[in-house]
């Protein structure tokens, strides 16, 4: 069964220079285990192809049931220099929540 991350998590994104940071937080422990399992750097690279042009770093915050990602080379130069409509990456957390993952029926 496929599920959108939007159904199991929320989050927020922002800028750190020319990198975007995306924090994604599961609503419950089961959801967090799914995030940990499915949100590998490889998976993130694929999802953000054409948006992220640099490396991706991945961090875990288990107490918050959250993962934090740094997507380098994503903001067209960053902050005040970028010509992008979303120069600070504020809609990228939502872009991550579009991702569909396979979960088994017992969820």
Partner 1 sequence: MKDKILIASGQGFWGDLIDAPYKQVTEGEVDYLVMDYLAEVTMSILQKQMNKNPMLGYAADIPDLMKRILPVCWDKNIKIITNGGGVNPTACAEAVMEVAKSLGIENIKVAVVIGDNILDRINEIVDSGCMLNNMETGEPVTIIKDKMLSANVYFGALPIAEALKEGADIVITGRTTDTGLTLAPMIYEFNWDVQDYNLMAAGTVAGHILECGGQASGGNFLGDWESIEMANIGFPIAEAYPDGTVIITKHNSLGGKVSFETVAEQLVYEIGDPEEYITPDCVADFTSIKLEDLGNNRVKVFNVAGKPETNMFKVSCSYAKGYSATGSLTYSWPQALTKAKAADKILRKRLEYLGLNLEEIRTEYVGYNSCHGPLSYTPDEDKINEIVMKVSVRSDDYASVERFGKEIAPLILTGPPSVTGFAGGRPKPSSVVAYWPALIPKNLVFPEVKIMEYSI
Residues binding partner 1 (CB under 8 A): 10-18, 21, 23-25, 27, 47, 49-51, 57, 59-66, 68, 70, 76, 78-81, 83-86, 90-95, 97-98
CB of 90 vs partner 1, minimal distance in Å: 8
Residue closer to partner 1 by CB (options 10, 103) is 10
Which pairs count as long-range contacts for 37-44, CB under 8 Å and 24+ apart, including other chains? 38/101, 38/102, 39/67, 39/69, 43/99, 44/69, 44/71, 44/96
85 versus 106: smaller Cβ distance to partner 1: 85
Write down how long the chain is.
Answer: 107
């Amino acid at each position: 069964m496929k599920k959108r991350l939007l159904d199991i998590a929320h989050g927020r994104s922002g800028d750190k220079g020319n990198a975007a940071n995306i924090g994604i937080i599961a609503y419950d422990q089961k959801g967090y285990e799914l995030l940990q399992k499915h949100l590998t750097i490889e998976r993130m690279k694929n999802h953000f192809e054409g948006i992220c042009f640099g490396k991706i770093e991945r961090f875990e915050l288990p107490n918050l049931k959250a993962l934090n990602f740094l997507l380098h080379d994503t903001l067209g130069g960053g902050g005040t220099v970028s010509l992008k409509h979303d120069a600070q990456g504020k809609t990228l957390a939502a872009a991550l929540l579009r991702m569909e993952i396979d979960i088994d029926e017992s969820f």
